[in-house]
Amino acid sequence: MGDTIYLVYSWQDIPVAKLTNRLTMRFFGPLRWIALLLAVTVLFATFNMLQTHVFPDESGAQISTVLAAMACAVMLGLGNTLGHKRLQAALMSAPIRQKECSLAINQYGIAAEGGALHAHVEWADVTEIAEMGNFVLIMLSPLEYIPIPDFSLPPDLSRADLIEQLRYWHKAAQPQTLDTEPEFA
């Protein structure tokens, strides 16, 4: 296959929040949550140790203060998450996101028209071709992507063939490196 691939889909059918969340986890990895839990545990243990060993005659005011601060942090985190979900829902319900998006992909790059996506992306600007669930993602950065949902593929094009072709075009656009070591005088 060396011809142009034409695809059409609606942004309404793209779970942007879910894909972005999975890409964020992919970028940071699970260590982000482990580090956060460890930090909270160490903070709590430190204040508990101070309460029992350094200030044994004091009332439980310090522990109460720490617990109140931790509860505030949890509430702020939940508020931020709920606010982000509301913002994402408003973004996806905007009229510009209700329109169909069409992609034309060939050896020169990706042309996208419709909805909020009007661009021509050259293969040299693509960082990778990633697979995520029922989507093939043409990655432009760790969180920016052009999604290709499986349901938008033409009947004569399998997902495996699509990925193979995209990776071929992507690799062909990368600068060639020499396998020789540089000579120094």
What whole-number distance in Å separates Cα of residue 72 and Cα of residue 128? 40
What whole-number distance in Å separates Cα of residue 60 and Cα of residue 83? 34
pTM above 0.85, yes or no: no
Q: Give 36's pLDDT tier (boundaries 50, 70, 90).
A: confident
- Does 52 share its domain with 66? yes
- Does 68 share its domain with 112? no
Residue ending a domain, among 30, 64, 92, is: 92
* Higher-pLDDT residue of 55, 11: 11
Report the run of H or E that residue 139 belongs to, with start and end.
strand 135-139
**pLDDT tens, residue by residue, 128-141:** 999 999 999 999 99
Identify the domain containing residue 122 by its residue range.
5-15+97-173
Residue ending a domain, among 92, 113, 143, is: 92
- Supply the pLDDT for residue 49: 73
- Does 101 share its domain with 10? yes
For the CA atoms of 171, 176, 177, 183, what is the dihedral angle to 10 degrees?
A: 180
In a domain, 43, yes or no: yes
**pLDDT tens, residue by residue, 41-90:** 777 777 777 667 766 666 666 666 767 777 777 777 777 677 667 777 77
In a domain, 78, yes or no: yes
- Please say whether the beta carbons of 125 and 134 come within 8 A: no
Using DSSP's 3-state secondary structure scheme, residue 76 falls into helix
Residue ending a domain, among 77, 92, 107, is: 92
What whole-number distance in Å separates Cα of residue 72 and Cα of residue 88? 24
**pLDDT tens, residue by residue, 97-109:** 778 889 999 999 9
- Whose structure tokens read 């005011």? 61
Q: Give 152's pLDDT tier (boundaries 50, 70, 90).
A: very high
- Does 39 share its domain with 61? yes
Domain count, the chain: 2
- Does 45 share its domain with 79? yes
* Higher-pLDDT residue of 61, 11: 11
